[in-house]
A and B are shown apart, each in its own frame.
Chain A
Amino acid sequence: MFFYFFIMSKYIDKYFLKEKIKEEICRIATELPQDIKDYFNNILGRTSGLSKKVIEILIENYKIAESERIPLCQDTGIVLFFIEIGKDVYIDFNIEDVLNQSVKEAYIECHLRKSVVKDPINRVNTRDNTPAIFYYKFNSESKGLTIKIMLKGAGSENTAVFKMFTPTSSWEDIEDFIIDVVKNKAINSCPPVIVGIGIGGTAEKAMLMAKEALFRNIGERNKIEFYRDKEIELIEKLNELDIGPMGVGGYPTVIDVFIETYASHIASLSVAVNFNCHSVRHTIINF
């Protein structure tokens, strides 16, 4: 039995994991994902005046950031890890200690801003951007270890909104709420924003879905037809709000809209909205 386990399991090397995660944090702080780069270049022709100027600067920004390894944005965020553990994974160490070590080394060695305070009220900086925030999923259907990393800036986090609707509310009620949130809050989240929406579950489940939805690639639609259509409708409606890049008006206000849903209690209908700024810093790594 023991022998079988040894042969069939995926052993994660602590040092390799620490180095790989550190390297990826440094990389994503200075390198925009390809889908966002493509997005900026594709929409440039649809913009004019000040909004065109802003998009042109954002294109120049990602080029300078990547070639000179200067962070895309000075807010290099707090680090979130979404860890998915497959059925064959064998880990014999404290994974949070190792990943916090990656964060510490990355933020110090790659000159990223240390933006984490130890206590929310007394606010003393930890000076190494630790601790990170961890979420786990055990997936008995999959193999291997998957780690999703997100460097989340406060501009796009401070605008997060949660609302409990009554279960008899309609889609139109929820849509009005989402449009209102974008209308009132997107300007402080560095638009054009990506809108993550979590519907259903309990309060924290909805917010977690809204957050994790932000990992989707641009154009990646919800698999349920109803929500896929709603995503497309929302992209159109939100882009008519005329907030524009950095709030200067015009097109675009949102890059994409991602809806995630889950079953809920008969008496509940939770809705959470969490934005990502246009400076997307995330990646998914498989071990």
Chain B
Amino acid sequence: MEVIKLNIERDFDKFLDLSAGVYVLLTGYLISARDQAHKRLVEDIKNNRNINFEIKNSFIYYMGPTPSKENQVIGSAGPTTSSRMDRFAPFLYDMGVRATIGKGKRSIEVVEAIKKNNGLYLITIGGAGAFLSKKIKESKVIMYEDLGPEAIRLLYVEDFPVIVAIDSKGDSIW
């Protein structure tokens, strides 16, 4: 099986050429956000409020971790079901989000948004939160701290495993 290693910043152009079904080890910054954070984020963007990260070209990871212990970067940190974010995703792809990372299928609207914006949908391994936590080297809450596990985090990952589930042409592994 082919394994491709990519750095989000350095190899940015190569992401457009990835086809569905490819296994990639990602290095770079991700933004973690799930249900309630999406609801607030979309409202805040629409109301021109301050957003503490660059939305353009960002990679959003649908994840809410367990609390970290002392000497841990982050607790268990696997993906949550992406379809719950389908109602927010087309708007965010339109705003410049490059990729989303989660688990499970997406709606037709999301596939269309991915095609239109040259985006990507990546899946990672649900139920592998302990394994994936080892790939996260930095974690910092940057927005909505009051949401606890649902707060928005800036993560730095190294060799974080993902599978291209929907590529920029809208082709999928399904």
- Whether A187 contacts B128 by the Cβ 8 Å rule is no
Q: Does B28 contact A (CB under 8 A)?
A: no
Residue of B nearest to A49 (CB): B1
- Whether A74 contacts B75 by the Cβ 8 Å rule is yes
- Whether B67 contacts A113 by the Cβ 8 Å rule is yes
- Please name all residues of chain A whose beta carbon is closer than 8 Å to the beta carbon of B118 when the two chains form the complex: none
Stretch with Cβ within 8 A of B (4 or more), from A57-65, A173-181, A201-209, A258-266: A57-65
Q: Does A119 contact B (CB under 8 A)?
A: no
- Please name all residues of chain B whose beta carbon is closer than 8 Å to the beta carbon of A70 when the two chains form the complex: 66, 72, 75-76, 129-130, 133
Q: Does A115 contact B (CB under 8 A)?
A: yes
- Please name all residues of chain A whose beta carbon is closer than 8 Å to the beta carbon of B105 when the two chains form the complex: 187-188, 247
- Inter-chain CA distance A72–B127, complex, in Å, is 6
Q: Does B96 contact A (CB under 8 A)?
A: no
* Given A111-B68, A155-B80: A64 and B131 interface contact (C-beta under 8 Å): yes
Interface residues on B, range: 35 or more
Flag A146-186 by CB within 8 Å of B: 1 or 0 each: 00000000110010000000000000000000000000000
- Please name all residues of chain A whose beta carbon is closer than 8 Å to the beta carbon of B163 when the two chains form the complex: 50, 248
- Inter-chain CA distance A248–B103, complex, in Å, is 10
Which residues of chain B from 1 to 40 have a CB within 8 Å of any chain A CB?
A: 1, 21, 23, 36
Q: Secondary structure at chain B's binding surface: helix, strand, loop or mixed? A: loop
Residue of A nearest to B21 (CB): A50
- Inter-chain CA distance A230–B135, complex, in Å, is 42
- Please name all residues of chain A whose beta carbon is closer than 8 Å to the beta carbon of B149 when the two chains form the complex: 74, 113-115
- Whether A72 contacts B130 by the Cβ 8 Å rule is yes
Q: Does A212 contact B (CB under 8 A)?
A: no
Q: Does A125 contact B (CB under 8 A)?
A: yes
- Inter-chain CA distance A52–B161, complex, in Å, is 14
Q: Does A100 contact B (CB under 8 A)?
A: no
- Please name all residues of chain A whose beta carbon is closer than 8 Å to the beta carbon of B123 when the two chains form the complex: 246-248
Determine how close the nearest CB of chain A comes to the CB of B21; give it in whole angstroms. Answer: 7
- Whether A188 contacts B129 by the Cβ 8 Å rule is no
Partner among B23, B69, B126, B129 whose Cβ is within 8 Å of the Cβ of A53: B23
- Whether A64 contacts B130 by the Cβ 8 Å rule is yes
Q: Does A249 contact B (CB under 8 A)?
A: yes
- Inter-chain CA distance A190–B80, complex, in Å, is 10
Partner among B81, B131, B173 whose Cβ is within 8 Å of the Cβ of A61: B131
By a beta-carbon cutoff of 8 Å, the part of chain A in contact with chain B is 30, 49-50, 52-54, 57-58, 60-62, 64-65, 68, 70-76, 111-115, 123, 125, 127, 154-155, 158, 187-188, 190, 246-249, 277-279
Question: Closest 5 interchain pairs by CB?
Answer: A279-B127, A65-B130, A71-B76, A61-B131, A70-B130
By a beta-carbon cutoff of 8 Å, the part of chain B in contact with chain A is 1, 21, 23, 36, 63-69, 72, 75-78, 80-81, 83, 103-105, 123, 125-131, 133-134, 148-149, 161, 163, 165, 173-174
